Structure 1
Amino acid sequence: MSGDDDLSHLSLLELYREETRTQTQALSERLLALESGEPDSVALEACMRAAHSLKGAARIVGVPLGVDIAGRMEECFVAAQAGTIALTAAHVDVLLAGVDLLVRVADPQAQPVSPGEIDAFAAALKGADGAQTMQLPPAAPPSPQPPPVVPYREHESAANESVGAGAPMPPLAVSGALPDPVQAGRAAGAGAMRRVRADTLNRLLSLSGESLVESRWLKPFAESMLRVKRAQRDAARALDLVCEQFTDDLDAGVLASMNEVRHMLNDLQRSFAERMDEFDRFERRSTHIAEQLYDEALQCRMRPFGDATRAYPRIVRDLARSLGKQVRFSIVGEGTQVDRDILDLLDAPLGHLLRNAIDHGVDSPEARRARGKPVEASVTLEARHSAGSLLVSVIDDGPGVDMDALRAAVVRQRLTDDETAARLSDPELLEFLLLPGFSMRDAVTDVSGRGVGLDAVQEMVRGVRGAVRIFNEPGAGMRFVLQLPLTLSVIRSLLVEVGGEPYAFPLAHVRRTLELGIDDIDVLEGQPHFPFDGRRAGLVAAHQLLDAGEPDAARASTAVVVVGGEPELYGVAVDRFLGERMLVVQPLDSRLHKIQNIAAGALLENGDPVLIVDVEDLIRSVDKLVRGGQLAKLMHNPQLALADRRRRVLVVDDSLTVRELERKLLEKRGYDVTVAVDGMDGWNAVRSEAFDLVVTDVDMPRMDGIELVTLIKNDPMLQRVPVMIVSYKDRDEDRRRGLDAGADYYLAKSSFHDEALLDAVHDLIGDARG
């Protein structure tokens, strides 16, 4: 199949847009390489040919603006090749602006390019000749143009009318390179790229997974046939014994018949043995092919990290120049394989992090010179695999975050008071950088100051059940690390049994597995604990979390899966470990909505279904049970019950800092507090446990506070539970919206202080105990 056949369903304009996308990307990369001081006449030649190809393609489809822009760029490159002009940094600026114009010309949804913009582009290109030159080696003479290639014969006459009688017809190619057509034809079968729809890849992966599961049935089937073979052998031996016992009592005819049956049975055994050997070879070959197919299908979902980073050098370069900073940008791990869905999701967050590094992280050349640092700052984007996870880091060598300034900004924006802010550790303070609306800038600019960038990063990472970690080294720079799953479609899991059913814990979230004896488990402050790496970790039964009956109290030891980290570290007791498995994730039916503590499903090798545990959701559930002293199912010990009942408060807020601040204030007053990280988590909690009060934020992912209040007040079983909204939004219309939804109290965070919250809680439910 040729490349033309693959693209025959596209119109010429669609092909032009695709070629523009590919060629402008190549132009940007080559121009940045030229500007970086790498003397490369080959890059200059590639730029000229890309501009020439874009000019010809625009002429074919009748886009005169594209012809004009690409033609002027081509003339500039030809002049540089001939030595008539020497490319300067100013030339690169203007040429990159021309690349942006070409992208807009080809995009029907972009703002149209006006003739005035083209005139300004042409004038800027001429005016760039007086700038300081970049040193390039003598360019190689222009290589001869390739022969005309006309991939669509039905458009030939119209194309010739547009081009002119003597003009060559450039190829309307989709690949980034511009190879000789003959060589391209020879290589078409080997390294050619094909477009495949995402849903087609998903079906391929699903079918290959089912094929692998089905192939695993062959082995147990072969084993059952071996049992039939042994039974057949036993029957033949029994017949031999009968013949030997009754040989003297039977006439010759009967004996002849019995001997004939014996021979037939022996022949059947030999034939059966031969077929079994063939089946055994078939089973091994089929399983091997199914595994290969499955592995290849998995690889189809993986793309190199570099596929998502091609635009970043230009973004960093343009932003640094606009801010008057000198930045050396490097990308490490471009070949790291990443799930295509995760790669698509990473685009916006990485853009935010890079802009943050250039604007906030990197200091000015003057400041760097004063600190004794190189004037040129360093920003690095790195991707690597580590311990079953994908780690993507953005690193700068700026001055880092001034923790005193950060603490002051937290207080100034009324996120906490002076006393609480003074007690916060550096890691706790850095968490404020991820809050929605938080910024250390007093003034809003085109680049930053609105406090939305890092919040978007946090939301994306949470959406794929990852984590954001911030490392600050004062004077040396900052490092933002995104810990992400390797793939959203396939996970390596720890398989366990709970209540007679299999469950899978993603290994990326498992700290360790243990076998604990009864003597290893202590009860501290009414809660079961066990020692782990010099710490005390809480213990809870998976049966309770997964609603899977009662654990076996007669076991001499308890199998425990250790999950979590700092500060929440817990052990989940299961019946037994079943080993590790690579599972193809199968989303649950959307009609089930979100099932508490469950992320998805999968099929085991024998076709049995297994539920994949949502470990982050599970940790939140464990935290609630540990804090509420509700672990009696595991220990069967009445000491775990609280001596007297405390009023229970559910705090729902997606901000870790605000959530913990409210929890500590309420617990200090004696209330029994459970926390939820967003509206959906809060809705699951309020349906599964009894609370005397719900305190909720408004702006949260998955389900906001207004929707949560509405659901609670519309539920006949929950509508009497008082709900208090604590929000940054303090306008009258925001307050009215919350109260109209059914909230019993609305407290603005701008007027939030310790006593205001506690007084409001007391007004709604009274003292902590009762």
Structure 2
Amino acid sequence: MTPEQMRDASLLELFSLEAEAQTLVLSAGLLALERDPTQADYLESCMRAAHSLKGAARIVGVDAGVSVAHVMEDYLVSAQEGRLYLRPEHIDALLQGTDLLMRIATPSNAPAPADIDAYVVLMGRLLDHMAATGPMTPPMAELQLEPPTPKVEPPMSATNEAPPATPVEPALMAKRSTESGERVLRVTAERLNSLLDLSSKSLVETQRLKPHLATMQRLKRMQSNGLRALENLNVHLKDHALSLEAQEALGDARRLLAESQQLLAEKNAELDEFAWHASQRAQVLYDTALACRMRPFADVLSGQVRMVRDLGRDLGKQVRLEIEGDKTQVDRDVLEKLEAPLTHLLRNAVDHGIETREQRLLAGKPEEGLIRLRASHQAGLLVLELSDDGNGVDLEKLRRNIVERQLSPAETAAQLSEEELLTFLFLPGFSLRDSVTEVSGRGVGLDAVQHMVRQLRGAVVLEQTAGEGSRFHLQVPLTLSVVRSLVVEVGDEAYAFPLAHIERMCDLAPEDIVQVEGRQHFWHEGRHVGLVAASQLLHRPASQNSAQTLKVVVIREREAIYGVAVERFIGERTLVVLPLDERLGKVQDISAGALLDDGSVVLIVDVEDMLRSVDKLLNTGRLERIARHANQAVEAARKRILVVDDSLTVRELQRKLLLNRGYDVAVAVDGMDGWNALRSEDFDLLITDIDMPRMDGIELVSLLRRDNRLQSLPVMVVSYKDREEDRRRGLDAGADYYLAKASFHDDALLDAVVELIGGARA
């Protein structure tokens, strides 16, 4: 290809990007003008978009684009100058021109020259007629203008990015801009995935420094104790006559030990500072990489407002789509998978939900039907609510349809609740339409929506109010790259249950397990819930522990609900999803893998698959019973922890957390009170604040490290101060662990306690 050809190809590509951006501006502006033709700002933005496209088409030599954009610009200028009052027929003509411009910029879908000529001639005739008769122009139908095709959505870019909403010169399109003026470059999804994967691994690697630092602190304390022991030995040996060689050897040992301790202290401080900064930067890197995958929900809405409007007109209805929360951030992969189900639901709302003009007027409703789509974040999920003010679902017709299709006996169908009836609409091949149309009646729609939402690990629920409309509630993860999970232990291995599928978690006493029809159950929210062992489902060795209670995760998928018994709860974690190697195929009951903070591997449970496994075990009679441990276990000595904090709230919070985990806990109100408790009682761990009256935490730790009986006691500092110098002061004083209250949560404290002294039992 010659340089000239390369240059031309580049300009055509830029023109395509320009057209993609400006046709979206035109579509949005024209739909707004249809509701209120006097909005000067929308008239101005549409005129500028048409003008920019005309200039861009002229630069790249696309004459058809110049012609169409020019007549559209004249049309809009006439409206701006008050010579034309825009009516729905005029909006139809301008939208038809918008579609033509997008097709002109897409070589594979370019319109025929005759179509372009016909459009330009008819628009010109209208302008001539308007000049002769004044602003009160006749309807477009009198000029026999071809109606626009119902095709509504302009093609999205390869990366599904939202194009800019302001005019952009073609020469600048190599670096596109967002509404806020930030420059945006096109990046492949594979590179973004790779960046997120590397950043998550970097974050995990920095977390692995924490236990290493704790070990180094213990080593420093042990060496300090060794130096004190050597000093004590030196004092005792002063009363003995030592040879010159022995004295020199003792002096060398003292000097070398002191020098090594000084070096160890310096390197520990450097390593601690490096680890802190590395973890902070790794977290920022990970958050930034994750943010790169997030796009506003508006990206999936491109063309949907237009589609609803055009489909309504095609069906003889006047329908408007209102959108709230269009700036809600969602992972681009989720957005791509949401486009199809949302289109299904919107078309369903226009066709099934909104009544005809006559029916709405008879019911006392506005002539224009309204569909609302709301997007929001709730507990790490994207929550969508799509509602219409139509007639709702005819429950009696639905009941008759169920019986006619032999999906349920008439007696049973008569007793079905509204919620149970509505679930039939999601069955494959089910439709309330008696005849097939282009829009619906083929029995495909809601079942496809449910299938696609389930693929996103989400759920969809339908509600309705007779005569007032229907509401679809969708919940899907904000991202498929990250999943909030409960990590548990099964057979000495870590597994993660996505929180979206967890009903609750509980400790089940042996006496709460009952036998119903030969199977183990427990009572949960007014119903018996089947109990199964995670070890059997995941093919792990059964637990041999003698805990007084059983740890149970209650999982639910639609109507299916079971309690899954595990060995212990490790805690709630945000996991970066790592797909399994394709060569493994589908691993039973497992959807993906992830890495925990310490670098260990955790497998993410496929809850739907696991529920199918439970049903299979039940049907084959191979479901194993869980051994119920009697209260005969020998009570082991509980480990004791002293909590020192002058804040009653913090003190009680820590005390209750530790008590619930099985530790024996004593409290002290300040450093002096804590020091008195340490000298009079035995403890396995000290947890202390820094800023306290009478004696602060630094003084308390320093006293403890100078005491021969207490100097080896593990110490954790929990403080609001998270500056590097504060952390260093605490660790230099002799603390083994420093936890900032600013980032404090239950798991962080309990994990640190287990790391320092292990479980609650000796």
Identify the TM-score tier after normalising by the shorter chain. Answer: 0.7 to 0.9
Query: Structure 1 pair 625/183, CA: closer, same or farther in 2 (3 Å)?
Result: closer
Q: How does 1:541-556 map to 2 (within 5 A)?
A: 541-552=533-544, 554-556=546-548
1:466 matched to which residue of 2? 458
Once the 2 structures are TM-superposed, how far is the Cα of residue 553 of structure 1 from its aligned partner? 7.2
CA gap 1:87/1:304 in 2 versus in 1, 3 angstroms: same
**Whole-angstrom CA distance in 1 between matches of 2:468 and 2:77:** 45
- 1:27 alignment partner in structure 2: 26
Unaligned runs of 5+ in 2: 1-5, 139-161, 630-762
Q: Does the CA-based 8 Å contact 1:603-1:610 persist in structure 2?
A: yes
Which residue of the partner structure matches residue 556 of structure 2? 564
- Corresponding residue of 2:351: 359
1:435, CA displacement in angstroms? Answer: 2.9
Residue 326 of structure 1 aligns with an amino acid whose one-letter code is: Q
Equivalent residues in 2 for 1:332-411, closer than 5 Å: 332-411=324-403
Rounded to whole Å, the distance in 1 between the matches of 2:90 and 2:176 is: 38
TM-score normalised per structure 2: 0.72
Distance in 1 of aligned mates of 2:519 and 2:184 = 59
Match of 1:197 in 2: 188
**Structure 2 contact 575–594 (Cα < 8 Å) conserved:** yes
Aligned ranges for residues 313-712 of structure 1 at < 5 Å?
A: 313-413=305-405, 415=407, 418=410, 421-422=413-414, 424-552=416-544, 554-564=546-556, 567-626=559-618, 629-635=621-627
Alignment counterpart, residue 232 of structure 1, candidates 223, 231, 252: 223
Tell me the alpha carbon deviations over residues 377-435 of structure 1, each in whole angstroms, 9 at most, x when there is no partner.
21111112334432222211111111222233344455556555445443333233223
1:208 Cα shift?
Answer: 0.8
The amino acid that maps onto 2:367 is V
Structure 2 counterpart of 1:167: none
Aligned to 2:166: 177
1:90 equivalent in structure 2: 89
TM-score norm. by structure 1 comes to 0.72
Q: How does 1:249-264 map to 2 (within 5 A)?
A: 249-250=241-242, 255=247, 258-259=250-251, 262-264=254-256
Q: For residues 347 and 429 of structure 2, what CA distance do their matches in structure 1 show?
A: 17
Change (3 A) 1:296 1:411: same
Q: What's the secondary structure of 1:230's corresponding residue?
A: helix
Residue 631 of structure 1 aligns to a residue in which SS?
Answer: coil
Secondary structure of the 2:366 match is coil
Q: Distance in 2 between matches of 1:133 and 1:381?
A: 36
Q: Indicate how the Cα distance of structure 1 residues 634 and 308 shifts in structure 2: closer, same or farther if over 3 A, else same.
A: same
Which digits, 9 at most, give the CA deviation of each residue in 1:192-231, with x for residues without a partner?
A: 2222211111111111111111101222121222233234
SS in structure 2 at match of 1:448: coil
Match of 1:74 in 2: 73
Aligned partner of 1:680 in structure 2 is none
Aligned CA distance change for structure 1 residues 260 and 487 (closer, same or farther; 3 Å):
same
* Aligned-pair CA distance for 1:251: 5.3
**Are the structure 2 counterparts of residues 241 and 8 from structure 1 closer, same or farther at C-alpha, using a change threshold of 3 Å?**
farther
**Shift, 1:324, TM fit:** 1.9
> How many Å separate the matches in 2 of 1:285 and 1:179?
41
In the other structure, the counterpart of 2:118 is 119
Map of 2:11 onto structure 1: 12
1:8 deviates by: 10
Structure 1 residues 204 and 76: CA distance shift in structure 2, 3 A: same
Counterpart Cα distance in 1 of 2:439 and 2:334 = 25
Matches of 1:324 and 1:335 in 2, distance apart?
32
AA aligned to 2:303 is A
Displacement after TM superposition at 1:116 (Å):
3.3
Instruction: Please list the CA deviations of residues 693-739 of structure 1 after superposition, one character each: whole Å capped at 9, or x if unmatched.
Output: xxxxxxxxxxxxxxxxxxxxxxxxxxxxxxxxxxxxxxxxxxxxxxx
Deviates more, 1:262-271 or 1:305-314: 262-271
* Alignment-derived partner of residue 104 in structure 1: 103
Say if 1:65 and 1:411 are closer, same or farther in 2 by CA, change over 3 A: farther
> Structure 1 12/380 Cα, relative in aligned 2: closer, same or farther at 3 Å?
same
Q: Secondary structure at the match of 1:632?
A: coil
C-alpha distance in 2, partners of 1:116/1:566? 52
How far apart, in 1, do the equivalents of 2:9 and 2:535 lie? 56
1:695 corresponds to: none
Structure 2 vs 1, CA of residues 510 and 494 (structure 1 numbering), >3 Å: closer, same or farther?
same
For 1:290 and 1:309, how far apart are their aligned partners in 2? Answer: 34
What is the percent sequence identity of the aligned residues?
A: 49
The match for 1:206 is 197
Distance 1:566 1:193, change over 3 A: closer
- Over 3 Å counting, the alpha-carbon distance change for 1:183 and 1:40 in structure 2 is farther
Contact 2:374 2:384 in 1 (8 A): yes
Residue 574 of structure 1 deviates from its aligned partner by 0.7
Q: In the alignment, what sits opposite 1:53?
A: 52
Report the Cα distance in structure 1 between the residues aligned to 2:8 and 2:345, rounded to whole angstroms. 39
Closer, same or farther: CA 551–183 of 1 in aligned 2, 3 Å: closer
C-alpha distance 56-274 of structure 1, shift in aligned 2 (>3 A): same
What SS does the corresponding residue of 1:210 show, helix, strand or coil?
helix
**Which amino acid is the alignment partner of residue 609 of structure 1?**
V
Q: 1:13 to 1:503 in 2, by over 3 A?
A: same
Change (3 A) 1:569 1:435: closer
Separation in structure 1 between the aligned mates of residue 9 and residue 334 of structure 2, nearest angstrom: 28
Once residues 509 and 73 of structure 2 are traced to their aligned partners in structure 1, the CA distance between those partners, rounded to angstroms, is 77
Q: Secondary structure at the match of 2:598?
A: coil
The CA RMSD measured in Å over matched residues stands at 3.1
Between the aligned partners of 2:84 and 2:307, the Cα distance in structure 1 is: 27
Give yes or no for contact 1:94–1:125 (8 Å, CA) kept in 2.
no
CA distance in 1, matches of 2:164, 2:484: 36
Confirm or deny: 8 A CA contact 1:91 1:125 kept in the other structure.
no
Of 231-240 and 466-475, the range deviating more from structure 2: 231-240
Deviations 1:26-63 (Å, cap 9, x if unpaired)?
11111111111163222212211211111121122221
Offset at residue 439 of structure 1 (A): 2.3
Q: Could you say if the C-alpha distance between residues 528 and 123 of structure 1 is closer, same or farther in structure 2, counting changes exceeding 3 Å?
A: same
Structure 2 Cα separation of the partners of residues 194 and 541 of structure 1: 50
Per-residue CA distance 1:228-248 (angstroms, 9 max, x = gap): 323433443454455555566
Structure 1 range deviating more: 433-442 or 313-322: 433-442
Alpha-carbon distance in 2 for matches of 1:93, 1:407: 41
Q: CA deviation at 1:621?
A: 2.3
Number of paired residues? Answer: 593
Partners in 1 of 2:65 and 2:170 — Cα distance?
A: 24
Contact 1:88 1:132 in 2 (8 A): no
Q: How far off its partner does 1:253 sit?
A: 7.0
Instruction: Verify: 1:223 aligned to 2:214, yes or no.
Output: yes
Higher relative contact order (CA 8 A, sep 6+): 2
The SS at the match of 1:273 is helix
Residue 297 of structure 1: CA displacement?
A: 1.7
With 563-572 and 17-26 compared, the bigger mean Cα shift is at 563-572
Change (3 A) 1:110 1:432: farther
Deviation at 1:179, TM superposition (A): 7.0
Q: How far, CA to CA, are the matches of 1:126 and 1:353 in structure 2?
A: 40
Show CA shifts across 1:578-623 (max 9, x none): 1111100111111111112111110011111011111122222223
Please give the alpha-carbon distance, in whole angstroms, between the structure 2 residues aligned to 1:174 and 1:474.
40
Q: Could you tell me how far apart the structure 1 residues matched to 2:19 and 2:512 are?
A: 67
- The Cα shift of 1:449 comes to 2.1
Deviation at 1:250, TM superposition (A): 4.4
| TM-superposition CA deviations, 1:545-580 (whole Å, max 9, x none) | 111122337432111111116532211111111111
Using a 3 Å threshold, how does the CA distance of structure 1 residues 94 and 186 change in structure 2: closer, same or farther? closer
Asked if 2 retains the 8 angstrom alpha-carbon contact of 1:332 and 1:381, the reply is yes
